[in-house]
Chains A and B, each alone.
Chain A
């Protein structure tokens, strides 16, 4: 039985039931957040570390959570920030002559499962070729099916801008696949 957000929040707010609350929070959102982070970072170990940090930060800053937004929106925001921080760290560590986009596309191919279809791998490579904001918007809309209003709260962009970004992202991805897909 799925535990509701209201119940998780109430468990988290009571010091006696905080541990139970954290467990419930993780049970409810670990999978969605993991895949959100994984699609940004691609590397499995780093995604796992980032997910851990996301939950730790969520616990530490739970007093800042306001009931006027949804719990998953708040968690997505933390996860997105953590993932982007990791990406920035990676970029700083990378050799200056290495193209970050090319590096990420190689990482996609290396991390893809054995049974992954070519078209799916190509799609993920295409996503990695997008600018940062378009990438985030596209992933949250396309994979997580988040409403524009919620994405707007996560990435601090207006709904209009998000729609435009999604449109461009989709177009670029389709072009990329048409260009690179061999049937």
Chain B
């Protein structure tokens, strides 16, 4: 083999290898890189953001809720006590209601006695109505000029009214009667007639009620 030249030798691999060697190699290399990751070696820390006074708020809320409630304890009530309390309440309320009604009646009667000493008779009420009517008419017609002409008619009318009123009203004083006459004298004919018709109606309404 004097003429052997290594340069002329075919360059080929003599070793056998699996066909998918390179494909698997890539996978193994990549998985090797990833397999470096070890969960146990990872730092165990919290990643979430927290507000500064979260624990203070929690403590305040808990203490307020737990101990403010404790200041006003709620007792467990036996049903029998509950029923008894309900019955007592019903009777109590009824009693108070009735007592109030009686007291009100007494108070009302007391009030009327206190104001008038004795209850008004129907006739007195009628007289007062008439009087208030006359007063209101007088107030509405202050500018009366023809007083002289109407005097006799007015007197007649007033007497008529008085006649109507007198039998019904027994306890009216003379002073009041004279005052009434003075009022009537100051009215004109038309006013008196209007007044008389109104007052008569009122009186009859009261009498025949």
- Verify that A and B bind, or say they do not: yes
Q: Which A residues are closer than 8 A to B by beta carbons?
A: 19, 22-23, 26, 30-31, 34-35, 38-39, 42, 44, 48, 51-52, 55-56, 59-60, 111-114, 116-117, 119-121, 123-124, 142-143, 170, 173-174, 177-178, 181
Query: Given A142-B44, A143-B44, do A23 and B63 touch, yes or no (CB 8 Å)?
Result: yes
The residue from B43, B49, B54, B57 contacting A113, defined by CB atoms under 8 A apart: B49
Contact between chains at A35 and B58 (CB < 8 Å): no
Q: Which residue of B lies closest to A121 (CB)?
A: B47
From residue 18 to 76 of chain B, which have CB atoms closer than 8 A to chain A?
34-35, 37, 39, 42-51, 54-55, 57-59, 61-63, 65-67
Query: Given A35-B46, A48-B58, A111-B48, do A22 and B39 touch, yes or no (CB 8 Å)?
Result: no
Of B35, B44, B46, the most chain A CB neighbours within 10 A belong to: B46
Contact between chains at A22 and B47 (CB < 8 Å): no
A44 / chain B contacts, CB cutoff of 8 Å: 48-51, 54
Query: Given A44-B50, A112-B48, do A22 and B37 touch, yes or no (CB 8 Å)?
Result: no
10 closest A-B pairs by beta carbon, nearest first, are: A116-B47, A113-B49, A178-B34, A55-B62, A120-B47, A112-B47, A111-B48, A30-B55, A52-B61, A59-B66
A55 / chain B contacts, CB cutoff of 8 Å: 58, 62
B58 / chain A contacts, CB cutoff of 8 Å: 26, 30, 34, 48, 51-52, 55
CA distance A61 to B42 in the complex (A): 38
Q: Which residue of A lies closest to B57 (CB)?
A: A48
Contact between chains at A38 and B48 (CB < 8 Å): yes
Q: Which residue of B lies closest to A15 (CB)?
A: B70
Q: Which B residues are closer than 8 A to A by beta carbons?
A: 34-35, 37, 39, 42-51, 54-55, 57-59, 61-63, 65-67
Contact between chains at A56 and B66 (CB < 8 Å): yes
Contact between chains at B62 and A56 (CB < 8 Å): yes
B51 / chain A contacts, CB cutoff of 8 Å: 44
Q: Which residue of A lies closest to B34 (CB)?
A: A178
A42 / chain B contacts, CB cutoff of 8 Å: 48
The residue from A31, A59, A173 contacting B55, defined by CB atoms under 8 A apart: A31
Q: How many A-B residue pairs have CB under 8 A?
A: 80
Provide a sorted-by-A list of 22 A–B residue pairs whose CB atoms are within 8 angstroms: A22-B66, A30-B59, A34-B50, A34-B55, A38-B50, A44-B51, A51-B58, A55-B62, A59-B66, A111-B49, A112-B48, A112-B49, A116-B47, A120-B47, A121-B47, A123-B39, A124-B47, A143-B44, A170-B39, A174-B37, A177-B39, A181-B37
B63 / chain A contacts, CB cutoff of 8 Å: 19, 22-23
Summarize A's interface: helix, strand, loop or mixed.
helix
Contact between chains at B62 and A59 (CB < 8 Å): yes
The residue from A56, A111, A117, A174 contacting B39, defined by CB atoms under 8 A apart: A174
B59 / chain A contacts, CB cutoff of 8 Å: 23, 26, 30
Of B48, B54, B57, B63, the most chain A CB neighbours within 10 A belong to: B48
CA distance A42 to B48 in the complex (A): 8
Contact between chains at B54 and A34 (CB < 8 Å): yes
B67 / chain A contacts, CB cutoff of 8 Å: 19
Shortest Cβ distance from residue B153 to the other chain A in the assembled complex, whole angstroms = 95
Additional pairs, 12, CB under 8 Å, beyond known A112-B49, A120-B42, A173-B39: A19-B67, A26-B59, A34-B54, A38-B46, A39-B46, A44-B48, A55-B58, A111-B49, A113-B48, A142-B39, A170-B39, A181-B34
A178 / chain B contacts, CB cutoff of 8 Å: 34-35, 37
